[in-house]
Amino acid sequence: MPKPDDIIFQLIVTIVNRGKCGPVVEASREAGAEGGTIISGRGSGIHEKAKLFSFTIEPEKDIILTLVPSDRTEKVLDAIVKASELNEPGHGIAFVIDVEEVTGINHLID
C-alpha cells in the first residue's frame, strides 16, 4: 500500500483476548519493532457476549499499540498475524493507522 512521503511512522493496533498479548509483543520485537504498549479493554462485538446465571459477560481484551517506522510496518504486521493466528475466527484483529506527528522517540528518528 503506497504511503505519503511525510508518513514516517505507523501505529499497529492489535486486539486479542486477555492474556494472549505475549505472542504479539514477542513477534513484533523479532520483526523489528522496539516494543509496545498494552492496554486492557472489553469486547462488545456480536460474538463477544456470553451469559452466566443470566448475567451478560463481556470478555476482557488486551489492546497492543505498536508504533513502527513505516518501512517496517508490513514485516511487523505479518509477524503479529502469524504468531497470534489472527486469520482464525475469534483470535483477534489488527489494523494500521498512519501517524502524522510523533514526539518523544528521538532515538528512532534518523
pLDDT digits (tens, 9 = 90+) for 10-64: 999 999 999 999 999 999 999 999 989 999 988 766 555 655 565 555 688 999 9
- The architecture of the domain spanning 9-102 is 2-Layer Sandwich (3.30)
Question: What is the pLDDT, as a whole number, of residue 84?
Answer: 94
Residue 105 neighbours by CB under 8 Å, 6+ apart: 67
Q: What angle do CA 84, 30, 86 make, to 5 degrees?
A: 15
In this structure, the number of other CB atoms found within 10 A of the CB of residue 64 comes to: 25
Helical packing angle, 21-30 and 73-84, nearest 10°: 140
**Phi, psi for residue 65 in degrees, rounded to 5:** -100, 120
Residue of 21 and 1 predicted with greater confidence: 21
In whole angstroms, what is the distance from residue 93 CA to residue 51 CA?
A: 23
d(CA 28, CA 23): 8
pLDDT digits over 68-91, tens only?
A: 999 999 999 999 999 999 999 888
